[in-house]
Chain A
Amino acid sequence: MNKKTLFVAFALLTFIAVIVWAKSDNNVSFNLGKAASKWKGIRINEEDLPNAVPTRARVYQIFFAGTGIAVDPNDKLDFKYIRIIGGRVLVPQRNVSEESSNSSDLEVKCANTTAGRERCFTFVRAGLLYLDKDRYTLRNIDFDNDSATASIYQNSTEVGSIALVKVMKMGRRMWVGTLTVGNTNYFAYILGADHPLLIGNTADEKAQERSDEGKKCGPKLPVVNASAIAECKQNGGRIYIGRDDNGCPMAPTCVSANCTAVTPLSAQERAVCRSKGGAVVAGVDEDGCPAAPKCVLASGETG
């Protein structure tokens, strides 16, 4: 081959590479395959659903809870006392407003009743965070058995984010990670608290601790910023903190399950639903993808 041919071939390959790059999604979807296969969200078991819809909001599951310290690494004397809790709350459908019907923290679980009808329950992933005396709420919560991420809100305004991984030490559950509030970044160390509704298998956790003994992770605290969480939620997905072969946390990624488009209910359908005393609820599915909206009546049955 002469130089001219090689030069043309190189140019053509470059052209094809640029086209492929341009056609692909420029977000984080390149490396999602492996991460997606490891994503194990905490699902709502149909068998564990209550017999009747609640008349007021009540806690259903606790993902994490504890107290600890948040330290600003740039100013070691700048530290906050943390109290935190996150979990699933069962809410009456009347609490789901039109504006919140598509919330990325809203989950609807339906089951067939013995009467052959469908009864639906509305769950909300929610959390509370206290830094000293300042109260914050957690939203856009993603949780699996080993990690948790969320956006931090104060007075309905997004002010930061948190990313935690579970570490077992001396038989105790601890949560370690990073916390950003305002313009300050903290390292967070939280000693897990017990709760009757806390999920997680203690035997598995102790086995994990034994297998992790002696492993060194180095400075690998997970960091996720609020805008990355928001972008992930906007497109439908879950933030996932994977572990490497040593069990050390990797950088958080947005795991998207190729969400399919859902058809919103028409204005007439919504009006009919409201006239029956129902609420239109949609939320997201277990993968974080937008769920199809449905009209849920006060009894939990779909109308």
Chain B
Amino acid sequence: MKNIIALVALLLISALLFGCTQQKPPSQGQPSGQPQVTAAPVEDVAANALENDVPSSNENLTNLDGMLVNLNS
């Protein structure tokens, strides 16, 4: 019985050790060919192109006004 307990304990310990060694190490930068998450100038260019299309506060009030008119009619 003692031998079996020792064998089981050995199996569990080796499994846990194996599991630990299989965990991913902390990221050391971006792998080659992967999309970068860091800031990119082209995204600023694109965001600037959207600047004139950002909804204004006046537009929202007009929308709400329209909804109220529809509700009352």
Residues of chain A at the chain B interface (Cβ within 8 Å): 4, 7-8, 11-12, 14-15, 18-19, 21-23, 26, 57-59, 62, 65-67, 81, 83-87, 89, 91, 95-97, 99-100, 102-106, 122, 124-128, 130, 137-140, 151, 153, 156-158, 170, 172, 191, 193-195, 229-230, 233-236, 261-264, 282-284, 288, 290
Are A85 and B55 closer than 8 Å at their CB atoms?
A: yes
Chain A contacts for B72, CB-based, 8 A: none
B73 at the interface (CB under 8 A from A): no
CB-based contact B19/A18 at 8 Å:
yes
Q: Which residue of the partner chain, among B4, B27, B47, contacts A127 with CB atoms under 8 Å?
A: B47
User: Apart from A229-B37, A234-B30, what are 9 other A-B pairs with CB-CB below 8 Å?
Assistant: A11-B8, A12-B11, A57-B46, A100-B36, A102-B36, A126-B49, A126-B50, A128-B47, A262-B33
Contact B33 A283 (CB under 8 A): no
Complex CA distance for A65 and B23, rounded to whole angstroms: 42
Within 8 Å by CB of B22, from A23, A140, A283, lies A23
- Whether A57 contacts B45 by the Cβ 8 Å rule is yes
Q: Which of A96, A130, A262 sits near B42, CB closer than 8 Å?
A: A96
Is A137 a contact partner of B44 (Cβ separation < 8 A)? yes
Q: Are B54 and A85 in contact (CB under 8 A)?
A: yes
Residue ID in chain A nearest B44 by CB atoms: A137
User: Which of the residues B35, B50, B56, B60 comes within 8 Å of A104, measured between beta carbons?
Assistant: B35
Task: Kindly state the separation between the CA atoms of A161 and B11 in the bound complex, as whole angstroms.
Answer: 44
Looking at the assembled complex, report how far the CB atom of B45 sits from the nearest CB atom of chain A, in whole angstroms. 5
Are B42 and A261 interface neighbours, CB within 8 A? no
In the complex where A103-B35, A128-B50, A234-B27 touch, is A83 in contact with B43 (Cβ < 8 A)?
no
- Does the CB pair A124–B37 fall under 8 Å? no
- A102 contacts B4, C-beta separation under 8 Å: no
CB atoms of A127 and B36 under 8 A apart:
no
Q: Could you pull out 24 A-B pairs where Cβ atoms are within 8 angstroms?
A: A7-B8, A11-B7, A15-B15, A18-B16, A26-B23, A67-B57, A84-B54, A91-B42, A99-B36, A99-B38, A100-B40, A102-B34, A104-B36, A104-B37, A122-B42, A151-B37, A153-B39, A156-B39, A170-B71, A195-B53, A229-B37, A263-B33, A264-B33, A282-B33
Q: Is the CB of B34 within 8 A of A95?
A: no
| B25 interface residue (CB < 8 Å to A) | no
Contact A193 B63, beta carbon cutoff 8 Å:
yes
Q: Determine the chain B residues whose CB is within 8 A of the CB of A23 once the complex forms.
A: 22
Which among B41, B54, B60, B64 has the highest number of chain A CB atoms within 10 Å? B54
Bound-state CA distance A102–B49 (Å) is: 20
Residues of B within 8 A of A195 (CB): 53
Question: Are A66 and B53 in contact (CB-based, < 8 A)?
Answer: no
Residues of A within 8 A of B55 (CB): 65-67, 83-85, 193
Asked if A170 meets B67 with Cβ closer than 8 Å, knowing A8-B4, A11-B12, A137-B44, the reply is: yes
* Contact of A62 with B46 in the complex, beta carbons under 8 Å: no
The answer to whether A290 touches B35 (Cβ under 8 A) is: yes
**Which residues in B have their C-beta under 8 angstroms from that of A103?**
35-36, 40, 42-43
B54 contacts which chain A residues (CB < 8 A)? 65, 83-85, 128, 130
A95:B8 contact, CB within 8 angstroms: no
